[in-house]
């Protein structure tokens, strides 16, 4: 037993200290997985236990103004990532882009943006909190929670180990999609009287989300079989994650827009 504990601890230290990206090692919420585990635990406890019980005998909060500003903030944050990443995008290669761990300005730009993307994923967790405060618990689906947790964890892994190279494609593509998605949510909260018109756009937002994961799958899957100098262990995690999201979003799309003719999505998705 003692040997097992020692081996486990040594493996943990190796993963924490020896495999790290030295540039980001001391940045906020990066060094240790313990804060990540704590935030995840608090997130699950809050949205699955404490907050639903807190709201059980209370009326729904009117958060329309809060949501307008929150979604506007999300648009700005995601837009910033896309714009700043584009200044160094010419240094990447779709065929193979190993992580540049040097202090090269473009490499450091990607490292900082990877960390910034990770911080945005922390802010994203508020989506679920707002659902429950508005008594829309049905919106806090397994897909919703799994997606937010998964992207938060991906943000930490990327910042901790591979803040650049291949991992940048996740941040750029996902942030671009979020500019569109949160713009939709912002207008839905800002102009509720235009509900019918705005909701027609939701189908295309879901299509864009699906296209996002398909694109990432097409980028990363072939690299499992190449000699690109990018950690295969991370690709083994990312590729099934993308495939899982394709299946889950595809299932939602089918039931909401094909089988349900869009009615289910219009009733449920009011963010």
- Calculate the CA 36 to chain-centre distance: 14
Torsion of CA 92, 94, 98, 101, to 10 degrees: 20
- Chain centroid offset of residue 221 CA: 19
Q: Are 135 and 53 in contact (CB under 8 A)?
A: no
Nearest to 96 by CA among 242, 237, 222, 238: 222
Q: Quick one: which of 154, 68, 77, 173 has its CA closest to 120?
A: 77
Per-residue tokens: 140:
């806090």
Q: What spatial distance separates the first Cα and last Cα of the chain, rounded to whole Å? A: 49
Q: How many helices (H) and strands (E) does the chain have?
A: 12, 0
Under DSSP, the state recorded for 61 is P
Q: Which residues are catalytic?
A: 147
* Neighbouring residues of 209: CB distance < 8 A, sequence distance ≥ 6: 177, 181, 249
Distance CA 147, CA 166 (A): 20
| Nearest by Cα to 78 from 152, 179, 154 | 179
CA dist 252 to 70, 191, 259, Å?
Answer: 25, 25, 10
């Amino acid at each position: 037993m003692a040997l097992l504990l020692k081996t486990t601890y040594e493996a943990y230290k190796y993963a924490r200290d020896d495999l790290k990206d030295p540039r980001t090692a001391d940045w906020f919420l990066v060094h240790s997985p313990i804060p990540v585990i704590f935030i995840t635990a608090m997130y699950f406890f809050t949205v699955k236990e404490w907050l639903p019980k807190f709201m059980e005998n209370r009326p729904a909060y009117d958060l329309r103004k809060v949501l307008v500003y929150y979604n506007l903030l999300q648009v700005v944050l995601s837009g910033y990532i896309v714009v700043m990443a584009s200044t160094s995008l010419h240094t990447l290669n779709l065929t193979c882009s190993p992580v540049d761990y040097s202090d090269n300005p473009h490499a450091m730009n990607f490292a900082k943006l990877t960390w910034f993307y990770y911080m945005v994923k922390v802010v994203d967790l508020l989506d679920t909190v707002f659902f429950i405060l508005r008594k829309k618990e049905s919106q806090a689906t397994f897909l919703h929670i799994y997606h937010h947790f998964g992207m938060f964890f991906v943000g930490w892994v990327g910042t901790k180990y591979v803040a650049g190279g291949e991992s940048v494609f996740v941040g750029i593509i996902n942030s671009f999609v979020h500019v569109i998605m949160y713009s939709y949510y912002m207008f839905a909260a800002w102009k509720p009287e235009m509900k019918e018109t705005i909701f027609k756009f939701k189908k295309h937002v879901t299509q864009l989300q699906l296209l996002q994961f398909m694109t990432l799958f097409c980028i990363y899957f072939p690299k499992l079989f190449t000699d690109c100098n990018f950690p295969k262990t991370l690709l083994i995690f990312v590729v099934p994650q993308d495939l899982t999201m394709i299946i889950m979003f595809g299932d939602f799309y089918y039931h909401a827009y094909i089988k349900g003719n869009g009615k289910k999505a219009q009733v449920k998705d009011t963010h």
